Amino acid sequence: MKRYLKLVNFEFNRFFKLYLVLIGITFVAQMSGVIVESKSYHNQANEIMQEDLLTQSEYVQQYGPMSFLNISESIWFLGTIALCAVTLIIYVFFIWYRDWVGKNNFSYRLFMLPSVRLNIYLAKATTILLFVLGLIALQLLLLPFENQVFKWIVPEVFRTDLSVLEITNLYYLNLLIPKNILEFILFYGAGMTAVMIVFTAILFERSYRLKGIFYGIVYCGVSILIFLAPLLLQASLLENYFYPMELLFLEIAACVLVLAGAIWIGNMLIKNKVRV
Amino acid sequence: MNVKFNNRDPVYVQVIQHFKEQIATGIYEPGQEIPSRRELANQLKINPNTAQRAYKEMEEQGLIFTEGNLPSRITSDEKVFQRVREELILEAVGAFVDSIRTINVPLNEVLQLVEQNYHKKGDSL
Amino acid sequence: MIEVKNVAKKFGRKKVLKGVSFTAEKGQITCLIGINGVGKTTLLKAIMGLTPFDSGEILINGEKIHPGTYEKITFIPDTITMLPNMKIREAFTFMADFYNSWNAERAGELLKFFRLNEDDRISDLSKGNAAKVNLILGLALDVDYVLMDEPFSGIDIFSREQIADVFTSHLIEDRGVIITTHEINDIEHLIDKAVLLDNGVILKEFDTEEIRENEGKSVIDVMREVFQA
């Protein structure tokens, strides 16, 4: 346990500088987005009101008010969220391959640590989870602040105000920031299962190299198939035999099964088969 | 301490030889403390097992002795000193005679040359 | 004792080890000598559990390798095993964090002996100095066995002398050591036992002092006989 925590700490620190850069970019881009979008709405409104000689309320009636949605659906927001997501997805691979690439072979050291090797696997997964949660937390912290800045720039008559809860319930943000704890566990549980499937597939490749790529792909296919099995059965053979709640529980069971499989196979590979 | 070892004689034998030379030339005095096997291994850049073996052999030959847990010492026995000295002289003379014989030089000539050279080298030292 | 029993290993169709058996005792330096081929390194990796093998068995002190074994045996490969952006001090801290057998005092001694600065970054080190750091990372562990892969290859003459110095001052003494090499010159007088490996087969295993004593042959003489036969 002690060594697992040390490994988590170590893996966390290894990515931390880049992570801070990511946080910096997110902060700067989103704040710029809030300012630029708000200003441009406000300026545009002023221009049109002057040209067409409209009052503020007439303008709002004709052109509609501005809400935070206009900002959160802008490229500033979508871009940063996509950037963070893509970076972390790439890091899911790089967190393993960085131990092998280059002239320094950290994989030697890692696999010669006097600790159960599964700890390495779990520590890397934990690190990914921490980074994801960290970014979500950052977003939750930024939203009220950004909302406030939006309110400062755009006068009240032009605005439809949304609370943070309302903002997070809209569209894609709802996926990232679920409303209740159950959804949170479901979404992130499924997400982490996907991460671990990829981890185990990477270990297939690291163990059997060229052949391992094939094994890894087959393994991913089987995992996805098992995960989707209840849905597929429901849609085909069983013809809506299950109630939605039953289907949900079956899905959870399938997910747990796939997750357990990923960890078990990953453990076998990292313990007995992996090569430096 | 820098000793050049050859590849074909056992290292422990060469270590013993090295000690004998030092005893014969008086670098080691009777009863003088000698390095531990580990120190010796480090000084000569050899394996401690080899140093150990050399010490064991030297102890058997009476060149060194150990009392209890104290460091080993060079023997104080004058007879052993004498013996080592003779042994080394005989060895050197033997090797010399062997190589002289192969080129068929008469003894008189050799002795004369030996005398001349011995003095010459002695002067330059 | 490290016991390698009939170990075989293929890479694709190429047989790298064809049923290799030998033992390495504690308190002895065993030298795996091979002129060419990858068998030597593969063998060390197999002992360390860093590469799986196809058949045979390897026992360390009578047990198969498990996580705790890494407190008792260490491997010094010919490539540095720490992150390039680490300072030497950080690499030491990492070792101290994870190994109970890390001997910080000895690491400090060795660092001083090699005249290295603990604030140096690993990526900035010359090849010779990187090899020295690598050596410290292995030798400062209080382990029973040390495995070294080609400790002298590609290193300048002065670094080699220093490393050979450290061998007699810090390495041996009750530890078991396995060294691989393709040239024996630097350590001919240091090793207890030579194991000649070629094409995945052990051709000869002998005690170096015995062969000098009984047959009047140097290690190189024997290598010449065996490898050129």
- CA count, 13 A, side-chain hemisphere, A178: 11
As given in the structure block, the two tokens for residue A199 are: 């981890």
DSSP state of B69: T
A6 and C97 within 8 Å at the Cβ level: the answer is yes
Range of the domain at B120: 80-124
Give the tens place of pLDDT for each residue, B46-88.
Answer: 888 899 999 999 999 999 998 888 888 998 888 888 888 899 9
Place of tokens 């070892």: B5
A275 to chain C: which residues are within 8 Å by CB? 45, 50-52
Q: What is the ipTM of this complex?
A: 0.92
Return the closest-CA partner of residue B42 out of C166, C192, C168. Answer: C168
**Statement to judge: residues B84 and B63 lie in one domain:** no
A112·C94 Cβ contact <8 A: no
For residue C160, the distance in angstroms to the closest alpha carbon of chain B comes to 13
The rounded distance, in Å, linking the Cα atoms of A176 and A137 is: 10
- For residues B71 and B16, state if they share a domain: yes
Residue B3 lies in a domain: no
**What is the distance between the alpha carbons of residues C11 and C200, in angstroms, rounded to a whole number?**
12
Query: Shortest Cα distance from C66 to chain A (angstroms)?
Result: 8
Single out the residue of C150, C118, C82 nearest to residue A103, CA to CA: C82
User: Does residue A14 sit at the C interface (CB-CB below 8 Å)?
Assistant: yes
Does B4 map to a domain?
no
Distinct helix (H) and strand (E) counts, chain C: 7, 9
CB–CB contact C98 A115 (8 Å): yes
Pick the CATH number of C2-227 from 3.40.50.1000, 3.30.9.10, 3.40.50.300, 1.10.3720.10: 3.40.50.300
In tens, the pLDDT along C17-51 reads 999 999 999 989 999 999 877 789 999 999 999 99
Chain C neighbors (3+ CB pairs < 8 Å): A, B
* pLDDT attached to residue C115: 93
**B and C touch per CB criterion (3+ pairs under 8 A):** yes
Chain C residues in contact with A17 by the CB 8 A cut-off are none
Residue A271 CB partners (closer than 8 Å, separation 6+): A117, A118
Cβ-Cβ pairs closer than 8 A, A with C, add up to: 66
Going by pLDDT thresholds of 50, 70 and 90, the confidence category of residue C70 is: very high
Q: Are residues B15 and B52 in the same domain?
A: yes
What mean pLDDT comes out for the span A192-216?
96
DSSP symbols for A166-190: HHHTSTTHHHHS-SSHHHHHHHHHH
| CATH at residue B64 | 1.10.10.10
- How many other C-beta atoms can be found within 10 angstroms of the C-beta atom of residue C14? 10
What is the rounded CA–CA span in Å between residue B73 and residue A223? 74
Q: Are residues B112 and B86 in the same domain?
A: yes
Q: Domain ranges for chain C, please list them.
A: 2-227
Q: Which residue of C90, C98, C124 to mutate against A (max A Cβ within 10 Å)? A: C98
pLDDT over threshold 80, residue A264: yes
| The total number of structural domains that make up chain B | 2
**Structure-token match 């007439």, residue found:** A58
Measure CB to CB from residue C190 to each of B13, B38, B46 and give the nearest one: B46
C98:A3 CB<8 A: yes
Q: Are residues B66 and B100 in the same domain?
A: no
Contact (CB, 8 A) for C30 and C192: yes
Contacts of A6 (CB under 8 A, 6+ apart): C97, C98
Which pLDDT value is given to residue B119?
Answer: 85
Q: What is the pLDDT of residue B125?
A: 52
Whether pLDDT at C63 is above 60:
yes
Contact C50 A272 (CB under 8 A): no
Helix (H) / strand (E) element for B18: namely: helix B11-24
* Cβ(A45)–Cβ(A59) below 8 Å: yes
- Closest chain A residue to C54 measured between Cα atoms? A273
Q: Are residues B64 and B91 in the same domain?
A: no
Any domain includes B1: no
Expressed in percent and rounded to 5, the helix, strand and coil fractions of chain A are: 80, 0, 15
- Given a cut of 80, whether residue C154 has pLDDT beyond it is no
Q: For chain B, how long is the longest CA-to-CA vector?
A: 55
Q: How confident is the model at residue C172 (pLDDT cuts 50, 70, 90)?
A: low
Shared-domain flag, residues B59 and B112: no
- Comparing alpha-carbon positions, the chain A residue that sits nearest to C122 is A104
* Cα distances (angstroms) measured from residue C95 to each of A109, A246, B78, C91, C98: 9, 51, 55, 6, 5
Interchain pair A276, C52: CB under 8 A: no
Q: What are the CA-CA distances from residue C81 to residues A104, A105, A112, C150 (Å)?
A: 6, 5, 10, 15
The answer to whether C80 contacts A275, with C-beta atoms less than 8 Å apart, is no
